[in-house]
Amino acid sequence: MPSSIEIVIFSFLAISGIVSSFLAVTGRNLFRSFLFFGYFLLSVAGFYFLLKADFIAMVQIIVYVGGILVLILFFLMLTPKLASEELKEVRLKVSSIFLSLFFFGLLVSVLSKMAPTVIEKDRFPDVLTLSKILLTKFSLPFEVAGVILLVALVGVVVLIGGE
């Protein structure tokens, strides 16, 4: 049974995560939208801390907030045209709502099928097991993510040099 402080922290993280994700999607300024996106990623890390998955929470903070979000913010700040522009109104609101609902339904169906297998495994892997899996079974996706980040960084440099 969770304690009352855990319920308060969970409620705060849930409300702040929903509000920050809504502000990130509906914001007109790209810089502020990415700051709200970063706040959302921090709230997700807070959920991992509540689940006592400290390693995953720190990976969330270091990789996503510290790496990817900072790379995107550098891209925005180093391209003056994007940093000063306002986002334009989305014209395909109805189709985007239907597409969002479709992907939400797909996510719910996948998670409902996965839930029994996740509940049966009532413990999280330790850091040693997780690192062995990451560096053996998932070494290719790990390297591909690094190459994608490198390509994004080279793209930023090319965009800056072109102006």
Q: What is the DSSP letter of 66?
A: I
21 and 72 in one domain?
Answer: yes
Does 110 lie in the same domain as 68? no
Q: Within this chain, do residues 25 and 82 fall inside the same structural domain, yes or no?
A: yes
CATH of the domain at 60: 1.20.120.1200
Pair 18, 65 in one domain = yes
- pLDDT value at residue 80: 65
| Residue-range definition of the domain harbouring residue 40 | 1-89
- Regions of the chain where pLDDT drops below 70: 1, 79-94, 96, 111, 113-126, 156, 159-163
What domain count does the chain have?
Answer: 3
Same domain for 66 and 7: yes
Is 137 in contact with 62 (CB distance < 8 Å)?
no
- The reply to whether 1 and 68 lie within a common domain is yes
- Dist. CA 59–CA 31, nearest whole Å: 24
Give the pLDDT score at 85: 54
Place of tokens 């998670």: 111
Closest by Cα among 16, 11, 52, 59 to 37: 16
Q: Do 41 and 78 lie in a common domain?
A: yes
The predicted structure's pLDDT at residue 119: 44
